[in-house]
């Protein structure tokens, strides 16, 4: 590659990056996400099993009165939905055979959930409270998932557009609507449009209200001034010391 071509390539890259810096904030964000992974665990008085899942979801986050290029201060509301298909396979019959169904796993199917929250943001602090209805296979003999309704909420310390810490109960993203828990996170914004987020906690890592450790790493980067690409992965605790992976991709649009 000649120096001329190298300089042209560097100049083009600079133009793309400068054009892809979205506004600091917008009155509404729309996010669409697709994800998939595996999980393993067991039911009380039931077998150990493995699940494969793939899902899609969306979330709208509205901050009335927030103007572009201003900080995120004021009231905020959000609504998220997720749906995923799960298939189950038997691992073993468990260590406590107390009924005749220890070799039975659910037929699998579609599980859905939703997350509705409201709150307020100041420069250094913010909060959200809401409700989280979601579905899980409570028993290995269930032919369809059953509903559970949990409260949800979170606290933020630190500016939205630099470095902040988070602590919450419920979901912190679309793929956790159907695997909520108690979690904490650190989010770093090095430049407008870029975000690196690390979350960890005790989440629903398998059906039947099985809790375990989950760690999550996500990167958000700008595509245009008003569109961002999100990439994420997670590892969750499974049966027999297994570590189960999840991957996801999302698009976030800043509108209005």
Q: What is the pLDDT of residues 17-38, one digit of tens each?
A: 444 445 445 688 999 999 999 9
Segment 220-234 mean pLDDT: 96
* Helices and strands (H and E) in the chain: how many: 1, 12
Residue 9: which H helix or E strand, with range?
helix 3-19
pLDDT in the model for residue 65: 67
The answer to whether the beta carbons of residues 34 and 198 sit under 8 Å apart is no
Owning domain of residue 64? 3-255
Three-class secondary structure of residue 74 per DSSP: strand
CATH number of the domain residue 204 falls in: 2.40.160.40
CA separation for the pair 167, 90 (Å, rounded):
35
Count of structural domains within the chain: 1
Residue 158: which H helix or E strand, with range?
none
Q: Inform me whether the pLDDT recorded for 213 exceeds 80.
A: yes
Is the torsion defined by CA of 68, 71, 74, 80 positive or negative? Answer: positive
CA separation for the pair 51, 136 (Å, rounded):
12
pLDDT tens string 109-162: 999 999 999 999 999 999 999 999 999 999 988 999 999 999 999 999 999 889
Q: Inform me whether the pLDDT recorded for 100 exceeds 70.
A: no
pTM score, whole prediction:
0.85
């Amino acid at each position: 590659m000649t120096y001329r071509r190298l300089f042209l390539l560097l100049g083009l890259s600079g133009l793309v990056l400068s054009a892809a810096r979205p506004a600091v904030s917008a009155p509404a964000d729309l996010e669409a996400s697709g994800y998939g992974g595996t999980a393993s665990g067991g039911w009380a008085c039931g077998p150990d099993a493995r699940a494969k899942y793939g899902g899609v979801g969306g979330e709208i986050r509205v901050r009335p009165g927030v103007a572009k290029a201003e900080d995120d201060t004021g009231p905020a509301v959000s609504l998220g939905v997720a749906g995923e298909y799960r298939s189950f396979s038997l691992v073993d019959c468990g260590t406590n055979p107390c009924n005749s169904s220890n070799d039975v796993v659910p037929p699998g199917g579609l599980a859905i959930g939703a997350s509705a929250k409201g709150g307020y943001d100041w420069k250094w602090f913010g909060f959200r409270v809401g409700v989280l209805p979601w579905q899980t296979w409570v028993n290995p003999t269930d032919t369809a998932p059953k509903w559970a309704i949990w409260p949800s909420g979170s606290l933020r310390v630190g500016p939205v557009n630099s470095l902040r810490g988070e602590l919450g109960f419920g979901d912190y993203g679309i793929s956790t609507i159907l695997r909520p828990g108690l979690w904490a996170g650190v989010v770093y914004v090095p430049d407008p449009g870029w975000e690196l987020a690390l979350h960890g906690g005790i989440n629903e890592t398998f059906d039947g209200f099985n809790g375990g450790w989950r760690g999550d790493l996500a990167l958000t980067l700008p595509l245009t001034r008003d569109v961002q690409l999100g990439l994420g992965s997670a590892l969750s605790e499974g049966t027999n010391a297994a570590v189960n992976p999840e991957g996801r991709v999302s698009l976030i649009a800043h509108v209005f």
